[in-house]
Amino acid sequence: MNKSLNFVGTRLLAGIFCLSAHMVFGQTAAQIDAAKEILGKVPAAELGSTSAELVANAPAKERAAVAAATAQVVASTHPDLASATVAAISLRVPVAAPAAAAAAAAKLPNSAGAIAVAAANVPGVRIDDVRPAVIAAVPSQAGQVLAALARANLRSSLHPGAAGTSVTAGVSANSNKTGIV
């Protein structure tokens, strides 16, 4: 993506959010339209990284609002990329994870559990911040969100070092990678 376009887009989006006196997670139609305009020019493969960059480049006080707007736009336009975008934003700006997860979950209530897990599994993100934000955004999916987070938490507590390991990591050297140990 062109650096100057990215810089202009970041400044435009940040400027729009600075004019807002709304609650941190609330966006106006104009703010959502600005995010749509910026992200509409981005290839689908770059939506997560561009969204994360927009959030990271926003003024500190506006990061949650920018995260919410970008996650909402991606969830609306590319629902299959919502969890990945929330994870990318969470990796880049962990404090914005609850806002991004809540906004995406509000647009995709049936995916609220997966979106919450995508945010909460990022190092530096507190599950105790993500859980209430997502549940507040989609109270009808509270059970799904709690169950998904419990399953994710259970797996990580059972196998603390297992994250990121591959399936072949446990295959013995004499198995010829056939899956037979």
State whether residue 165 is helix, strand or coil.
coil
What b/e readout covers 70-104, taking b as 16+ CB neighbours within 10 angstroms?
bbbbbbbbeeebbbbbbbbbbbbbbbbbbbbbbbb
User: What is the pTM for the complete model shown?
Assistant: 0.71
Q: What is the pLDDT of residues 88-130, one digit of tens each?
A: 999 999 999 999 999 999 999 999 999 999 999 999 999 999 9
The stretches in the chain having pLDDT less than 50 are 1, 5-8, 10-25, 154-181
